[in-house]
Amino acid sequence: MLTGKPDYGGQMINTVLVANRGEIACRILRACTEAGLRSVAVYANNDAGSMFTELASKAVPLIGETIAETYLNQEQILQIAAAHDVDAIHPGFGFLSERADFAQAVIDAGINWIGPSPRAIEKMGDKMTARLTMKAAGVPVIPGQEIASEDEETMISEIVEASQRVGYPLLLKASSGGGGKGMRKVEDPAELTDAIKGARREAITAFGDGRVYVERLLTGSKHVEIQVLADKHGRTIHLGERECSVQRRHQKVFEESPCPVMTDGLRSRMGEAAVMAAQAVDYVGAGTVEFLLASNGEFFFLEMNTRIQVEHPVTEMVTGVDLVREQLRIAAGEPMSCGELMIRGHSIEVRLYAEDASNNFLPAIGPLAVFRPPSGPGIRLDTGVREGDMVTPDYDPMLAKLIVWAPSRNEALQRMRRALDEFVVLGTITNIRFLRELCDQREVVSGRTDTMLIERVWPDGWQPDYSDSTFDAALIVAAVSESAGLNKSRLMTTESTNDLISPFQTLSRRYP
């Protein structure tokens, strides 16, 4: 159990340290500038000169080579905060954002923590504890069984027994899990023991915690999450939902707001449950309560993310609320500025990754020799990279989040298609072509997506469709790129060439 000073530090905020990097660091630093606050960025050696370091009032290098020595080094970050008169620390997402011990250390140092209390992080960060907390609060949870034992043989015995009540197919989950790690789908009892051992082993490696529990696997369900906001004046609200069903390896790639199948009544019920979940842990700040929505309208608590979400821009686009600015306001002790929920139009976000979608979405590396985002009405790009940067294996391969807004869902989809057609990336493999094809999938167009869509549509893995006209366009791109001093042979054999096809499609169709 955490001990120390009260959950929150002092109220005055003049200088914010952003304990993160890349796209989310840029997002927070810009919000600080707009709020009239000084900002401090911390960066590892391989991030020197990155975009986020230039957006801060002051950029301070972290000493060390590994992530553990730099962005996860709590002591060093707190030392920098003390040396630069920092009043508050914003953790972004990932890294230290959901570390209750770091939140407590920040508070013990007399610095404002821009996030929920350490106790809320601790309760919601442990998935089994979160399940029990939600049960007590009256929030519906997925049928399953919490497993208390950490001993492997006892755990296997208890899960085997629980599986007879839960029923197949079932899902094993690491209690401290996240990002799909420590999860196993089990459809046959004969696979259960090996799956438990595998999930436990992966959980120990990733989180240092081998506890695993079991839930029923709800097939055909949607992943719908509710954005909540709570201030220190006792007000807790929700800001509507985000549909996040399209995923690969349990990680989201396509998000939208509002959910295409949402009704006013269902939104009210899910929103009320999300507020109850937040109030159950005395939540303060911005957070997300995630649910699985069954086809019959039933919904079940999945988990709560005690931080800003990657997909927060779609909520901002349809509500007009700057969530990061609200985080700063709440941390300073001010009441939130949000009024009654109003949803206007439709927003879609896709995550642009340096990865090979045709090879099980494996991460890719290489230079961003060309990085030319689309522009025009209703288009937003959240990124931490620019042309000339190098994509390395050191960090998550997400390059950018492309967000569009339009008055209707159909118009938003068409705007996203146009934006992806215009997006030019050269030098590394990306998933742009996959995202573009995704926008034309029947289930996506109809809004009838679920969490198994990618596996169902592409059971043997996604492969690009090379047509003759596409190949002609690729030849043109390769020739243009070669004149710019780039490697023609590599262009002709990688997905990066395909990503460049769209700007040349008109030419290739005109001259087949």
- Each domain of the chain, given as residue ranges in start order, spans 15-114, 143-216, 222-457, 468-510
57-67 burial, b if ≥16 CB within 10 A, otherwise e? eebbebeeeee
Which stretches of 119-221 are assigned E, i.e. beta strand?
144-145, 170-178, 181-186, 212-216
**Tens of pLDDT, residue by residue, the chain (512 residues):** 333 333 434 468 999 999 999 999 999 999 999 999 999 999 999 999 999 999 999 999 999 999 999 999 999 999 999 999 999 999 999 999 999 999 999 999 999 999 999 999 999 998 889 999 999 999 999 999 999 888 999 999 999 999 999 999 999 999 887 767 889 999 999 999 999 999 999 989 888 899 999 999 888 899 999 999 999 999 999 999 999 999 998 889 999 999 999 999 999 999 999 999 999 999 999 999 999 999 899 999 999 999 999 999 999 999 999 999 999 999 999 999 998 899 999 999 999 999 999 999 999 999 999 999 999 999 999 999 999 999 999 999 999 999 999 999 999 999 999 999 999 999 999 999 999 999 999 999 999 999 999 999 999 999 998 664 444 444 445 445 544 444 433 343 344 444 444 444 333 333 33
> Is CATH 3.30.470.20 what the domain over 222-457 is classified as, yes or no?
yes
Q: CA–CA separation, 424 vs 403, rounded Å?
A: 16
Q: CA–CA separation, 97 vs 117, rounded Å?
A: 12
Q: CA–CA separation, 110 vs 35, rounded Å?
A: 22
Single-letter code of the amino acid located at 494: T
Which stretches of 294-359 are assigned E, i.e. beta strand?
299-305, 346-353, 355-356
Helix, strand, coil percentages (3-state) for the chain, rounded to 5, are 40, 25, 40
Supply the residues annotated as catalytic.
Answer: 307
Residue 295's Cα: distance from chain center in Å? 24
Which stretches of 95-201 are assigned E, i.e. beta strand?
112-113, 144-145, 170-178, 181-186
- Quick one: pLDDT at residue 191? 95
Answer whether 143-216 and 222-457 agree in fold. Answer: no
**Which H helix or E strand runs over 268?**
helix 264-280
3 state DSSP class of 371: strand
137 to 141, 143, 272: CA distances (angstroms): 11, 16, 12
3 state DSSP class of 302: strand
Q: CA–CA separation, 253 vs 259, rounded Å?
A: 15
Residue with tokens 């140092």: 109
Tell me the fold of 143-216. Dna Ligase; domain 1 (3.30.1490)
Q: What is the CATH number of domain 15-114?
A: 3.40.50.20
The pTM of this model reads 0.87
Q: Let me know how long the chain is.
A: 512
Q: Show Cβ contacts of residue 34 under 8 Å, excluding neighbours closer than 6 positions.
A: 325
Q: Per-residue pLDDT tens for 94-123?
A: 999 999 999 999 999 999 999 999 999 999
Q: Show Cβ contacts of residue 3 under 8 Å, excluding neighbours closer than 6 positions.
A: none
Q: CA–CA separation, 289 vs 283, rounded Å?
A: 11
Contact 453, 441 (CB under 8 A): yes
User: CA dihedral defined by 286, 287, 293, 298, rounded to 10 degrees?
Assistant: -90
Contact 453, 434 (CB under 8 A): no
